[in-house]
Amino acid sequence: MRLDPLALTQWSTAPLLPPEDPFYATPPGAELLAPGTVVRSRSVELALFGLVRQRIAAWQLLYRTCDLDGAPEVAVTTVLLPWGADPTRPRPLVSFQCAIDAVAPQCFPSYALRLGAQTTGSIAPLELPIVAMALRQGWAVSVPDHEGLGGRFGAAREPGYRALDGIRAALGFVPLGLTPTTPVALWGYSGGGLATAWAAELAAEYAPELTIVGAAAGSPVGDPAAAFVRLNGGWFAGFPAAFVAGLRRAYPDLDPVLDDHLDDRYRALLGEAEQRTTFALLWRFARRDVARHLREGLAGLLAEPALRRILADIEPGTRAPAAPLLVVQGVRDEVIAVADIDAHVQRYREAGATVEYLRVRRGSHLPLEFLVVPVVLAWLADRFAGHPVTSGTATVASVARDGAALRAHLGFLALVAGMVGGRPIRGAGEQV
């Protein structure tokens, strides 16, 4: 395979981080705008791991949204079309929520997907080929910074508001050629799956005018409080650290609780967590037990009324999404417990939601995100086509064993190879 020399760039061309970039600044009067109103926009170039320029039509939109309490703020989404796409051609929109899973701004998709970005340790660049697969279907894609400008990882409701307002912004952005009645689907995995679940739950109440036809949530955490306790002290203890770092930004009454219970060492480590990318967090906090840094142990911290209120607030599943859901979960997932997702799905069904639940026996947490891409694409295509869906649970050995699945995965690998070579990402049926 021959690399396109024009596809490569240098680290010295790195874009500004969001806190330093004037594009992200909130203009006066933004709070008076309707949710989803575009404040400013710009065209951007995307790259694979910041290095290989991607031929994808891309813009960033700064738009009005709100935080978990309804207070107005602005956020950014990166909106995409296949290369050479005709904006007058009708197409659906997918809102893809990345698994940001950190609070550092270099992990925000609007930065990490850009040409020249220093992406080491961020998850969003790993997910760009998945986004490209959606573009290959001819769909438009919105990739919101669903943690907001403050990196409020784990906060309740906010990811849903930001994703839904990002959809509103995309539908109103003329270069995409979309309309208010464009069919929309939601998609995300892990932390992005949790954000997708929030958006699906809130859509009917917060954005009833959107034509949301379905939501695909892979390994969507289910019970954040249980995940915190289970992952603490293990190889994935960086996730609880990032979780606490994000929650203290979203819930001001958490800091006094932490001050009463945590020693100086762990408070300093939380400061580090605010600066590190996701995989750097996992390395730094591997096998670290927060109980060693608590004056009254983990039980004493979890007994605090303020913390209990926060943990109750951040649990998804209390509202029934109006649109059907596909939930995918690994039975032996080493990060997210299948029992938590079983309970999450059950809460949805008891509330009246339609959920197709796929439990997969083989595939660890990160590989499963890529293995289920053909399943999700087919499911979303059926939703866009208006095919019916019913609730049901299926437990399968693998999603990569039959001929159709293998062909789909080979197609995915071919797409990745093309991205490495800087080839254009064109939509199905688009003119070359």
Q: Give the catalytic positions in this structure.
A: 190, 333, 365
Beta-bridge mates of residue 76: 62
Chain centroid, CA 127 distance in Å: 10
Sign of the CA dihedral 299, 305, 306, 311? positive
Point out which residues pair with 308 in neighbouring strands. none
What is the SS3 assignment for 176? Answer: helix
- Do 298 and 288 meet the contact criterion of CB atoms below 8 Å apart? no
Nearest by Cα to 140 from 193, 198, 97, 183: 183
Q: Which has the closest alpha carbon to 91: 171, 207, 188?
A: 171
Distance CA 333, CA 311 (A): 22
CB atoms within 10 A of CB 386: 8
- In contact, 232 and 395? CB cutoff 8 Å: no
DSSP collapsed to 3 states, 69-119: CCCEEEEEEEEEECCCCCCCCCCCEEEEECCCCCCCHHHCHHHHCECCCCC
What are the DSSP calls for 221-281, one per residue? -S-HHHHHHHHTTSTTTHHHHHHHHHHHHH-TTHHHHHHHHB-HHHHHHHHHHTTS-HHHH
Question: Cα–Cα distance between 287 and 303 in angstroms, integer?
Answer: 23
107 Cβ partners below 8 Å, 6+ apart?
Answer: 100, 101, 121, 122, 123, 124, 151, 277, 278
How is residue 274 written in tokens?
A: 């605010």
Give me the count of residues in the chain.
432
**164 and 215 Cβ atoms separated by less than 8 Å:** no
417 by DSSP, 3-state: which?
A: helix
How far is the C-alpha of 153 from the C-alpha of 104, rounded, in Å?
10
